[in-house]
Amino acid sequence: MAGEAGPARWRWVALLGAVSVLLLVGVLAGGGSGLATFPGGRLRTDEDADGPTVVAGAVPDPESVVSQVHMSIRNSTARRNLGGYLSCGTGNPIDDCWRCDPDWHNNRQRLADCGIGFGRNAIGGRDGKIYVVTDSGDDDPVTPKKGTLRYAVIQDEPLWIIFKRDMVITLKQELIMNSFKTIDGRGANVHIANGACLTIQYVTNVIIHGLHIHDCRPTGNAMVRSSPSHYGWRTMADGDAVSIFGSSHVWVDHCSLSNCADGLVDAIMGSTAITVSNNYFTHHNEVMLLGHSDSYLKDKAMQVTIAFNHFGEGLIQRMPRCRHGYFHVVNNDYTHWEMYAIGGSAEPTINSQGNRYLAPTNPFAKEVTKRVETAQTTWNGWNWRSEGDLLLNGAFFTPSGAGASASYSRASSLGAKSSSMVGTITSGAGVLSCHKGSSC
């Protein structure tokens, strides 16, 4: 390991993270989520008949996120200035925060201060040491070797994990991450492929940046270590590229994801405070599932920002497919789908702003939206809104509920740029080519 961060400092960070995980939160304002609060703002769901429900990381009022990020966009120089380096001026507030710094490799952990939307507070390993992965192997998921990626992600202390060289890492079993970790692929060509992939389960503060993740396969029925002090039996995993399970404060940024057995990014079982940004999704059927099941009510507190991504060639559906929660889909470029782009059930709130939707040639697949296995008399009341979207080649978005009303009060996690700027904003989607001594 290189770099220093005092143990007392990271213990305080871990304590704050634990407090965040235990936070009981309030109603999602205007989201149509059916949430209510106990006195003091504590979250209440229908499950409270059997006792209080603990939900990690959701904010009581999504409009507070609106105000914060709108301010950052209006006064962009405050977020774009990295020690005197001026923004490249792409209009992408995440990239404008760090990409123009030619000394980025010495300032890696500044990335953690560039998040937006519901996952903006994910700090990953910002306050820990830098750990350099030197070994691409994964010989023993129970007793991983020092220098491997698995050894790094299971540690208890915060770590910012980077790579010594280009690597293809084929994981024998799920890579089960511990809290306060960043996996940062910048400066190397890193593929996690042809085996198991990433599992973020019952943890908090994780950043995944700059990885190629593809050809993930089901694994399991094996012992896998999740921390220095614990390993256990894992049943079969689905083969997701990134599986987020009961976790909060998660940010997936600038990854290239494709061709996995199940989802590319799936978030379920009460996960919240998530941002999925600047990624390039290709060659996959069911791209993104957000919400466990129609009957799992804790997902009413799920809050996800999906921003600046490119949904590209070979995609079929679920970009995303949502349940219960509050989802802001902003400034993404949808150039390919075969069935639909955005779907949902169980009354999710969906705010689509400033996206570019290019419909396929199939005359029966022009609709952006799909209400899954729900009668129109039911979904008429769901809050689905399209604002400033660019609809091309016959694409159409079917609004409902407050989203179909001119008096709808905008509820989102980020101020949208004009859809005419989507091409520029998403031009760097996916893994970036970053070299020491020059801007990315």
* Active-site amino acid positions: 318
174: nearest Cα among 233, 251, 257, 247 = 233
Please tell me the distance from the alpha carbon of residue 440 to that of residue 435, in angstroms, as a whole number: 7
* DSSP labels, 344-394: EESS-EEEEES-EEE--S-TT--BSEEETT--HHHHTTS-EEEES-EEETT
- How is residue 326 written in tokens? 């509050």
250: nearest Cα among 68, 94, 124 = 124
Please tell me the distance from the alpha carbon of residue 440 to that of residue 432, in angstroms, as a whole number: 7
- The answer to whether the beta carbons of residues 158 and 125 sit under 8 Å apart is yes
* DSSP labels, 237-290: ----SEEEES-EEEEEES-EEE--SS-SEEEETT-EEEEEES-EEESEEE-EEE
Question: Which residues make Cβ contacts (< 8 Å) with residue 317, sequence separation at least 6?
Answer: 285, 286, 287, 337, 338, 339, 340, 341, 343, 370
H-helix or E-strand containing 72? Answer: helix 62-74
Please tell me the distance from the alpha carbon of residue 313 to that of residue 338, in angstroms, as a whole number: 10
Looking at the chain, how many residues does it have?
Answer: 440
- The answer to whether the beta carbons of residues 53 and 45 sit under 8 Å apart is yes
Sheet with 265-268, edge to edge strand ranges: 175-176, 198-201, 242-245, 265-268, 288-290, 321-323, 342-345, 369-371
- How is residue 72 written in tokens? 């950052």
Q: What is the DSSP letter of 299?
A: G
The neighbouring-strand residues paired with 222 are: 234
Please tell me the distance from the alpha carbon of residue 305 to that of residue 97, in angstroms, as a whole number: 18
Q: Which amino acid is at 402?
A: A
Q: Which amino acid is at 192?
A: I
Please tell me the distance from the alpha carbon of residue 18 to that of residue 30, in angstroms, as a whole number: 28
